[in-house]
């Protein structure tokens, strides 16, 4: 089970490290946009949308990595004071009864929109924008899948923590 958890975590680790480079690319693109607009007087909608695509990708594809490194927002008024075993039980409950159903619902209800967008290869958000809205919408199921993968890895780790605490 340890090897499976490690393999699942590697998926989000690789994607998370890739998203670091996407953050740099987004920053550089925004710099180019500002330079073009305020120094040279040019403005291109597709470049502005490029920043939007990068930004959406960072958050949607980086969520699993954020979960992996435990950098997500957590309100732990009581959690921090619990024993490791109690924390494992709380996490297990959260992964099985809160995270997984919420992501499966989001995946289920977003899929028709994403499928429809791909079927017509939906064009740009704005006139002159990037002609690939279908790619942007595809980030929603990717987000769900990556978080489900990381949730499964965390669930395995919780079970291992509980087994270790029982031994």
Q: Which residues contact 135 (CB under 8 A, 6 or more apart)?
A: 53
> What's the pLDDT at 167?
45
- Say what percent of the chain tops pLDDT 70: 98
Whether the pLDDT of residue 14 is over 70: the answer is yes
> Span 111-135, mean pLDDT?
96
60-94 confidence digits (pLDDT tens): 999 999 999 998 887 788 888 999 999 999 999 99
Distance separating alpha carbons of residues 109 and 111, to the nearest angstrom? 6
For residue 166, CA distances in Å to 82, 85, 98, 160 come to 16, 9, 25, 10
3-state SS assignment for residue 163? helix
Place of tokens 């997984």: 100
Burial class of residue 147 in the structure, from the number of CB atoms within 10 Å of its CB (0-12 exposed, 13-18 middle, 19+ buried): buried
Q: How confident is the model at residue 165 (pLDDT cuts 50, 70, 90)?
A: low
pTM, 2 dp: 0.91
């Amino acid at each position: 089970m340890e090897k499976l958890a490690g393999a699942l975590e590697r998926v989000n680790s690789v994607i998370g490290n890739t998203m670091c480079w996407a953050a740099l690319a987004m920053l550089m693109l925004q710099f180019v946009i500002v330079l073009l607009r305020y120094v040279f007087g040019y403005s291109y909608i597709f470049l502005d949308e490029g920043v939007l695509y990068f930004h959406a990708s960072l958050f949607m594809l980086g969520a699993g990595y954020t979960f992996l490194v435990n950098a997500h927002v957590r309100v732990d008024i009581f959690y921090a004071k619990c024993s490791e075993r109690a924390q494992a039980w709380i996490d297990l409950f959260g992964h099985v009864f809160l995270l997984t159903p919420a992501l499966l619902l989001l995946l289920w209800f977003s899929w028709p929109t994403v499928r429809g967008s791909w079927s017509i290869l939906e064009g740009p958000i704005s006139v002159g924008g990037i002609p690939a809205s279908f790619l942007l919408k595809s980030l929603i199921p990717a987000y769900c899948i990556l978080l489900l993968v990381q949730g499964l890895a965390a669930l395995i780790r919780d079970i291992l923590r509980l087994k270790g605490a029982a031994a």
